[in-house]
Amino acid sequence: MPCQLVFTDDYTRRALRFLKRHPELKNQYAKTLALLEMNPHHPSLRLHALSGRLQGVHSVSINLSYRITLELLIQDQQIIPLNVGDHDAIY
C-alpha cells in the first residue's frame, strides 16, 4: 500500500548537505525514497525499528554504508524522514 513521504525543512537541509557530500549516491537515494513510498516493507530497504535513545524511530538502507532514519506512521500512511547519513552519524 503506497505511503506519503512528508519532508520537514530540517530533513530537506540535511538531505541536500548529504547529497552535496555524496553526489555519487543521488540515484540510489532517489530510488530508496521511491521504493519507500511504494512499499516501506520491501526487503531491499531492510526496514527495522531502532531502540535505546532512538526508540520509536525506524531505519532503512540506501546501501551498506548509508541509512535514512524515519518516523513511520503507518496508521496515517505517512513516512517522515528524520536524518540521512552513515551509520555512525545518524545513530
pLDDT in tens, 63-81: 989 999 998 776 678 899 9
Q: Are 40 and 33 in contact (CB under 8 A)?
A: no
User: What's the topology of domain 4-86?
Assistant: YaeB-like fold (3.30.2310)
What's the rounded Cα separation, in Å, for the pair 56 and 85? 19
Domain ranges of the chain: 4-86
Mean pLDDT value of segment 3-21: 94
What's the rounded Cα separation, in Å, for the pair 31 and 10? 21
What's the Cα-to-Cα distance from 54 to each of 27, 50, 90, rounded to whole Å?
27, 6, 10
The reported pLDDT for the residue numbered 76 is 76
Residue 60, Cβ neighbours under 10 Å: how many? Answer: 23
The reported pLDDT for the residue numbered 75 is 65
Instruction: Please state the pTM of the whole predicted model.
Output: 0.88
The reported pLDDT for the residue numbered 60 is 95
